[in-house]
Amino acid sequence: GTSIAALFAGGLAVGIVLGLAYMVQVQVETWRCGARPVPRPSWSERLQSLRSGFWAIGMPVLILGGIYSGGFTATEAAAVAVVYALIVELWIYRALDWKQVFRIAEESAVTTVVIFILLAMGSLLSYFITLSDTQSVLVSFISDHKMNWVMFLLVANVIFFIAGCFIDPNSILLVL
């Protein structure tokens, strides 16, 4: 029930802080390694770079502008971004041909099928764990040992760690 646009906006501040932190790290590394600065580009070179990257800059503008203006939801923004990327790559940059597009679509379909099979198996495993009444065993274990919240979190982390050795993260979330 949470607004996707609000979650997206919440991640904006984190993204800005991470971007600034990466800039500081790059600056420190260049000082440490003794890298020499390159000559500043002329305004015509900058304008040429902006022109060559115009269509690439259009993607985040389209996504963020569409979401924040209320033009479409985050899921619809993903579909609009795919169509935009296809148009730009096929007809403007001419970096892809139709054969490559179909190969990319095939690889994406295989990846999606694998994810859904894992989710289906995780749901099945979750169903059997529910049938075996494992949750009541865990609750009785916690109440019998009089665990405080710190011990509970430590036990939960150990359980998640062990489960992570055998099951993918999405299935773990379904099961546990």
Amino acid at the residue 163? A
Tens-binned pLDDT, residue by residue, of the chain (176 aa): 777 777 778 888 899 999 999 999 999 999 999 888 889 999 999 999 999 889 999 999 999 999 889 899 888 999 999 999 999 999 998 889 999 999 999 999 999 999 899 888 877 877 887 788 877 887 788 788 888 889 888 988 998 888 888 777 777 776 67
Full-model pTM: 0.58
DSSP for 31-62?
HHHTPPPPPPPPHHHHHHHHHHTHHHHHHHHH
The sign of the dihedral angle between the CA atoms of 78, 83, 86, 89 is negative
